[in-house]
A = this chain, B = another copy of it.
Amino acid sequence: MTTIHCYDVFELRLQGPQSGNPYRDVTLHAIFRLGNQTRRITGFYDGADEYVIRFMAPSIGQWSYITMSNNNQLDGHQGEFDVINARDGIHGPVRVNQRFHFAHDDGTPYYPFGTTCYAWAHQPEEIQEQTLETLAKTDFNKIRMSIFPKDYPFNTNEALFPMFMPKTDGSMDFNRPNSEAFRHLEKQIIRLGELGIQADLILFHPYDRWGYATMTEEQNLAYVTYVAARFSAFHNVWWALANEYDFMLDTIPMRTWDQFCHLLEENDPNQHLRSIHNGEQSMNFDHRKPWISHVCIQNWDVKRTQEWLNLYGKPVINDEMEYEGNIWPCWGNITGQEHVHRFWITVLRGGYGGHGETYTDPDDQIWWAKGGKLHGDSWPRIGFLHNLLKQEGIQGLKPINPEFTFPWDRISGAIDLDEKVRFIYFGEHQPTQWMTGLPIDNDNYDVDLIDTWEMTITPAQKIASFVPHPIRHGKITRGGKAEAAFAVKMPGKPYMALRIRPVNKEN
């Protein structure tokens, strides 16, 4: 009997008809069962005479299946297979955890630290290899990537594959997906998975010269169903409904975006994360809708992260806080230091950020769209922040002061959900001493000074707590007591942070 690991793919290939349009004419499903647990899976046509059912094993045990189809060749196939423990390092799909955070299906915390290479999987093969090599060196664990190729400034080259089959006149038949193209894409999704990287798959975007952005509604709906059937068995898939949906409202109206989500709910048995990304800062989607799993946002004003957390009540990933680079569009020319700064602010206000790099290149070989190599300063420093969280193994960070009253509107401070580890980030602020937000119980804490740019961690010098001179007529702040059990000497320079942990904490 076949044996697979939990979270890996059980694939059933069946022979069926080639006549007509198999993509549309043939229905194929399977019921998978383990005890009382059942999953209904949508199959897809993979070209020639091949039909495929893909199933991600969600739990160990002996699973059985039976197929159902409107075609006799495909109907009634049955079988059994064993699911054993997941392979080392495979933790299953990422879910929302503790309302504002994420964890893998097996409970392992997951902190999204993603990058952006919209059309990397549409570049020449050797560039794609280079992209994967580069990713392997970084600490990025998510990549925003488009299923369709991209036509845009700096993105004028032809794509590796058309995503649909040619008609006899050479134009694309948007009713017939190109299996070769999708097979290539899923190969790359799988390779990302082996690197521990989530594939945040963008289903639609406006930057197009081939017709992908102007398919009919029927074609769009069939496409969403197809990618759900084809890709949802991969543990590392996320659904990003759009890049900049608001620039496509002329061809895809608002109600249809909801409908896409419902099709994913129906056809993705693993309920991978679903998000939708805005273009204009004022055009956030209504992320409160229950079929949106988390807030994907484009906004440079990162100190407002808590506004979005409060408004939507879901995890926030600010995937476009502007990118490090020097190209002429203003979303792609901030300094590396500013990008790192915005990451720290975002994460220490309870959100997550997304990286991008857009340095001019004579061949328009720019990471943000095409992948290849990284040239900037921000990526290792973003990885440094990522590793700080990983070292603690925390569930997530929440604001030290959830009201964000002074000074927490100006600087950023967070404590993990179990209220053990604190981080305070000062950014453009450069005090020579600090006390607010430090523990009040006793001074039995290790405090480290973190230079977020130099990526150094050194023990901070504790100094006596102090009671500031009163600042209100007739009112003594905190009853004349110091607001923390100790204070810390600070270097009086920008981009510093503090980490505060109980002494003897096991790390």
A contact residues vs B (CB 8 Å cutoff): 151-156, 206-209, 213-214, 247, 251, 280-281, 300-301, 303, 322, 326-331, 333-335, 338, 360, 405-407, 409-411, 428-435, 468-474, 492, 494
A429 to B, closest residue via Cβ: B333
Whether the pair A409, B326 counts as a contact (CB closer than 8 A) is no
Cα A251 to Cα B472 with chains together (Å): 11
CB pair A468 B331 closer than 8 Å: no
B153 in contact with A471 (CB, 8 Å): yes
Given the known A-B contacts A328-B434, A333-B430, are A410 and B322 also in contact in the complex, defined by CB atoms under 8 Å? yes
Interface of A is mostly: loop
Residues of B with C-beta under 8 A to A430:
326, 333-335
Can you list 27 A-B contacts with CB-CB less than 8 angstroms, sorted by A residue number? A151-B469, A151-B473, A152-B471, A153-B468, A154-B469, A206-B473, A207-B473, A209-B470, A213-B473, A214-B474, A300-B409, A322-B410, A326-B430, A326-B432, A327-B431, A328-B431, A328-B434, A330-B406, A330-B410, A330-B431, A331-B406, A331-B407, A333-B429, A334-B430, A338-B428, A338-B494, A360-B432
Given A281-B409, A409-B281, A469-B152 in contact, is the A326-B474 Cβ separation under 8 Å? no
Extra 13 A-B pairs, beta carbons < 8 Å, given A156-B469, A330-B411: A151-B470, A153-B468, A153-B471, A154-B469, A280-B405, A300-B409, A326-B430, A328-B434, A328-B435, A330-B410, A333-B429, A334-B429, A334-B430
With a CB–CB cut-off of 8 A, which chain B residues contact A411? 330
- Give complex CA distance A151, B281 in Å: 43
CB pair B432 A328 closer than 8 Å: yes
Q: Which residues of chain B are near A153, meaning CB under 8 Å?
A: 468-469, 471
Cβ 8 A contact of A301, one of B301, B322, B434? B301
A485 to B433, CA, bound (A): 52
Partner of A492, one of B326, B330, B405: B326
Residues of chain B with a CB closer than 8 A to A492's CB: 326
How far is B328's CA from A153's CA once the two chains are assembled, in angstroms? 46
Query: In the complex, what distance in Å separates the CA atom of A209 from the CA atom of B470?
Result: 9
A495 CB → nearest B CB, Å:
9
Check A280–B406 contact: CB distance below 8 A: yes
Q: Once the chains are docked, how many angstroms separate the CA of A208 from the CA of B153?
A: 60
Asked if A206 and B330 sit within 8 Å, CB to CB, the answer is no
Query: Using Cβ atoms and an 8 Å threshold, which residues of chain B touch A334?
Result: 428-430
Q: Are B335 and A494 in contact (CB under 8 A)?
A: yes
Smallest distance from the beta carbon of A382 to chain B beta carbons, Å? 16
A268 CB → nearest B CB, Å: 27
Q: Are A209 and B473 in contact (CB under 8 A)?
A: yes
Contacts of A407 in B (CB 8 A): 329-331
Nearest-CB residue, chain B, relative to A409 = B281
Closest 7 CB pairs of A and B: A330-B407, A213-B473, A338-B428, A326-B492, A153-B469, A330-B410, A208-B473
CB distance from A54 to the nearest CB of B (A): 31
Q: Hey, which chain B residues are within 8 Å of A213, CB to CB? A: 473
CA distance A432 to B335 in the complex (A): 12
Instruction: Output the least CB separation between A369 and chain B (Å).
Output: 12
Q: Are B432 and A247 touching (Cβ within 8 A)?
A: no
In the bound complex, CA of A474 to CA of B251 (Å) = 11
Residue from B154, B247, B473, B474 in contact with A472 in the complex, judged by beta carbons closer than 8 Å: B247
> Which B residues are CB-close (under 8 A) to A331?
406-407, 410
Q: Which residues on the B side are within 8 Å of A434 (C-beta)?
A: 328
Report whether A327 and B206 are in contact in the complex, using a CB–CB cutoff of 8 Å.
Answer: no
Question: Could you say which residues of chain B place their CB within 8 Å of the CB of A152?
Answer: 469, 471
A183 shortest CB reach to chain B, Å: 26
Give A497 Cβ to nearest chain B Cβ, in Å.
14
A327→B207 CA distance, assembly (Å): 49
Give complex CA distance A410, B331 in Å: 8
